[in-house]
């Protein structure tokens, strides 16, 4: 894979020039020859639209367009959606990472990282199938942290002792501090700023640095500044050890990312407590990579299972539809049998559409959907759904009526949207109305000739007051056996994805509920019946 990697075109996206330069150097040392760079997501997206790129390495936090926004833009673009996308981040908020995974990130690298870790993540991103679809970020947030059941943790070696780097130009200070911590940590020493930088930017960097400020040639401030310019050392915590106690010194250190100051002469007990406290934080931060790997692995597993399930179900449904169509050609069938076969075919096609729709709903939720609007025979669609629904709710003896309140019956207006979306949208809402309606009552579906088109679905029974404000929210349901609260939520998503709306009106006086769907009409084309 290493030879294959060297032939790829890499795009590095980072707003810090020093980070872009160092990451480019790391790739060059791996043999990569084709490297493009951008300092924000917007420039990167322009490059992707105009040049060939094989893999993207992007920082998370950037001005103009963040790494996450760039990821979403890449995954929604049909020409770019296949690209491996590696996100480089210091984020510790689980919900942010879950969102990146849900949006199809290929790999995550937690800062700081070494050249070897970068090469490992690149190889994994290139080997794995493109993550053009993914799952709800809320679901990913329910995953257990650091699950030991996953392969990513099974192959993880036992953790080694944290490494502490002590930097001081005085040999006596180095000796004293080394003895102070040698029983708890792996202690390394450097008597100059140059050596400290080499250690911090090597393949096995320290976890915490005790850094003297007053040193010849390169002082502690310069060491810290150069550390922040290299991805391997950029996030290593630094504690300044100094005899300088002025406020300007403290401010200068904090500006360079120092996490603490320890004054000379050193109090061993105080320093030991501070180092131990920060090492606990370092341990938690190092666990992040395993946690994020586990989340990503679980997402990949779920995607794989989903793809297999969808493939198998679609194959079985195609067979069922084929058998129904063969039966429909039999001449001996009476009209009633033909009607029932037509209903069976419509129902099978409806399930097939639902399978295809699941991926589109995810794209809508994550802002990755692009509407390809076309004319829709909305009157025919409503009539078909009503016919299927009458059969489904036959035991309730409902009167399901479709009324076309049109100004001119000869010219029926077309909606402008996605036919599959409209089918699912109205099926959900009409089913919801039929489930809520009492036995032997009426469900009235009315199409009005307005701009935009309005479709009203009215049933007896008022929606309970306590859920009216949240009626279209996810998982909101009441009084329905086995209800999930997904139907009305998905209907709202599907309406809005087509530049339409869906609203709820309730009359306690007449004990009625009306769902009102507005959809753009396609006035350029009128269907003549």
Give 314-324 pLDDT, tens digit per residue: 566 666 766 67
Q: What is the pLDDT of residue 476?
A: 56
Q: What is the pLDDT of residue 518?
A: 95
Instruction: Based on the fold, state whether residues 18 and 138 are members of the same structural domain.
Output: yes
Question: Do the beta carbons of residue 9 and residue 216 sit within 8 Å?
Answer: no
Instruction: Based on the fold, state whether residues 99 and 179 are members of the same structural domain.
Output: no
Instruction: Based on the fold, state whether residues 125 and 177 are members of the same structural domain.
Output: no
Using pLDDT thresholds of 50, 70 and 90, give the confidence band for residue 477.
Answer: low
- Three-class secondary structure of residue 451 per DSSP: coil
Structural domain count of the chain: 3
Q: Which of 275, 292, 315 is the last residue of a domain?
A: 275
Instruction: Based on the fold, state whether residues 490 and 358 are members of the same structural domain.
Output: yes
Question: Do the beta carbons of residue 152 and residue 293 sit within 8 Å?
Answer: yes
Q: What is the pLDDT of residue 340?
A: 74
| 329 occurs within a structural domain | no
The dihedral over CA atoms of 35, 36, 39, 42, expressed in degrees to the nearest 10, equals -140
Question: Do the beta carbons of residue 423 and residue 382 sit within 8 Å?
Answer: no
According to DSSP, residue 66 is labeled: -
The kind and range of the H/E element at 54 are none
Q: Which residue has the tokens 């606990």?
A: 280
- Three-class secondary structure of residue 503 per DSSP: strand
| 420 occurs within a structural domain | yes
| Cα of 435 vs its chain's centroid, Å | 34
- Three-class secondary structure of residue 262 per DSSP: strand
Question: Do the beta carbons of residue 452 and residue 500 sit within 8 Å?
Answer: yes
* For residues 261-283, average pLDDT: 83
Dist CA 48 CA 75 (whole Å): 12
| 132 occurs within a structural domain | yes
Instruction: Based on the fold, state whether residues 129 and 167 are members of the same structural domain.
Output: no
Using pLDDT thresholds of 50, 70 and 90, give the confidence band for residue 429.
Answer: very high
Name which residue leads in pLDDT, 159 or 46: 46
Strands (E), 168-228: 186-190, 208-212
Q: What is the pLDDT of residue 285?
A: 65
| 456 occurs within a structural domain | yes
Q: Which of 113, 142, 171 is the last residue of a domain?
A: 142
* For residues 446-469, average pLDDT: 91
Name which residue leads in pLDDT, 215 or 290: 215
CATH code: domain of residue 240 = 3.40.50.2300
| 52 occurs within a structural domain | yes
According to DSSP, residue 337 is labeled: H
Instruction: Based on the fold, state whether residues 371 and 264 are members of the same structural domain.
Output: no
| 335 occurs within a structural domain | no
What separation in angstroms does the CA of 500 have from each of 189, 454, 516? 66, 10, 11
Q: Which residues contact 137 (CB under 8 A, 6 or more apart)?
A: 95, 98, 99, 101, 102
Q: What is the pLDDT of residue 144?
A: 44
Question: Do the beta carbons of residue 12 and residue 20 sit within 8 Å?
Answer: yes
CATH code: domain of residue 406 = 3.30.565.10
Structure tokens at 472: 């279209």
Q: Report the share of the chain in percent with pLDDT over 70.
A: 77
Instruction: Based on the fold, state whether residues 85 and 201 are members of the same structural domain.
Output: no
Q: Report the share of the chain in percent with pLDDT over 90.
A: 25
* For residues 104-131, average pLDDT: 80
The dihedral over CA atoms of 365, 371, 375, 380, expressed in degrees to the nearest 10, equals -20
Can you name the residues that pair with 521 across neighbouring β-strands?
Answer: 415
Domain range enclosing 348: 343-528
- Three-class secondary structure of residue 167 per DSSP: strand
Instruction: Based on the fold, state whether residues 54 and 186 are members of the same structural domain.
Output: no
pTM over 0.75: no
Q: What is the pLDDT of residue 475?
A: 59
Instruction: Based on the fold, state whether residues 373 and 491 are members of the same structural domain.
Output: yes
Instruction: Based on the fold, state whether residues 389 and 519 are members of the same structural domain.
Output: yes
Q: Which of 142, 171, 201 is the last residue of a domain?
A: 142
């Amino acid at each position: 894979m290493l030879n294959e990697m060297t032939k790829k075109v890499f795009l590095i996206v980072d707003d810090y020039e020093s980070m872009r330069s160092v990451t480019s150097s790391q790739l060059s040392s791996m043999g990569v020859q084709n490297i493009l760079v951008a300092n924000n997501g917007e420039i990167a997206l322009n490059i992707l639209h105009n040049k060939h790129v094989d893999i993207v390495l992007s920082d998370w936090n950037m001005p103009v367009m963040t790494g996450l926004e760039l990821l979403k833009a890449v995954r929604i673009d049909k020409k770019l959606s296949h690209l491996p996308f590696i996100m480089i981040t210091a984020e510790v908020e689980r919900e942010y990472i879950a969102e990146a995974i849900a949006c199809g990130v290929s790999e995550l690298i937690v800062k700081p990282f070494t050249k070897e870790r970068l090469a490992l993540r690149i190889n994994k991103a290139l080997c794995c199938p493109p993550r053009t679809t993914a799952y709800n970020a809320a679901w990913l947030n329910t995953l257990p942290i650091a699950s030991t059941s996953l392969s990513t943790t099974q192959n993880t070696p036992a953790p080694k002792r944290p490494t502490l780097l002590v930097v001081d130009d005085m040999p006596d200070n180095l000796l004293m501090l080394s003895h102070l911590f040698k029983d708890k940590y792996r202690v390394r020493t450097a008597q100059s700023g140059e050596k400290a930088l080499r250690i911090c930017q090597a393949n096995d960097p320290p976890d915490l640095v005790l850094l003297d400020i007053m040193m010849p040639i390169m002082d502690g401030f310069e060491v810290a500044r150069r550390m922040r310019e290299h991805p391997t050392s950029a996030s290593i915590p630094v504690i300044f050890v100094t005899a300088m106690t002025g406020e300007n010194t403290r401010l200068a250190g904090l500006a360079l990312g120092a996490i603490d100051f320890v004054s000379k002469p050193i109090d061993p007990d105080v320093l030991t407590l501070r180092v131990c406290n920060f090492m606990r934080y370092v341990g938690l931060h190092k666990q992040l990579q395993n946690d994020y790997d586990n989340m990503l692995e679980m997402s990949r597993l779920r995607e794989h299972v989903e793809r297999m399930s969808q493939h198998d179900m679609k194959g079985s449904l195609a067979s069922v539809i084929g058998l129904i169509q063969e039966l429909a050609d039999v001449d001996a069938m009476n009209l009633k049998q033909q009607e029932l076969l037509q209903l069976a075919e419509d129902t099978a096609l409806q399930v097939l559409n639902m399978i295809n729709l699941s991926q589109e709903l995810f794209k809508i939720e994550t802002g990755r959907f692009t509407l390809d609007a076309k004319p829709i025979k909305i009157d025919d669609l409503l009539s078909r759904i009503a016919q299927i629904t009458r059969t489904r709710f036959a035991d309730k003896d409902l009167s399901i009526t479709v009324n076309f309140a049109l100004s001119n019956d000869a010219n029926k207006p077309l909606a402008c949207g996605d036919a599959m979306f409209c089918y699912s949208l109205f099926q959900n809402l009409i089913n919801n109305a039929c489930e809520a309606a009492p036995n032997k009552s009426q469900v009235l579906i009315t199409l009005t000739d307005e701009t935009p088109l309005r479709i009203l679905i009215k049933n007896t029974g008022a929606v309970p007051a306590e859920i009216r404000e949240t009626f279209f929210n996810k998982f909101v349901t009441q009084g329905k056996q086995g209800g999930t609260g997904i139907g009305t939520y998905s209907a709202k998503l599907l309406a809005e994805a087509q530049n339409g709306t869906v609203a709820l009106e309730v009359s306690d006086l007449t004990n009625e509920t009306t769902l009102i769907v507005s959809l753009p009409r396609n006035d350029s084309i009128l269907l003549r019946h």
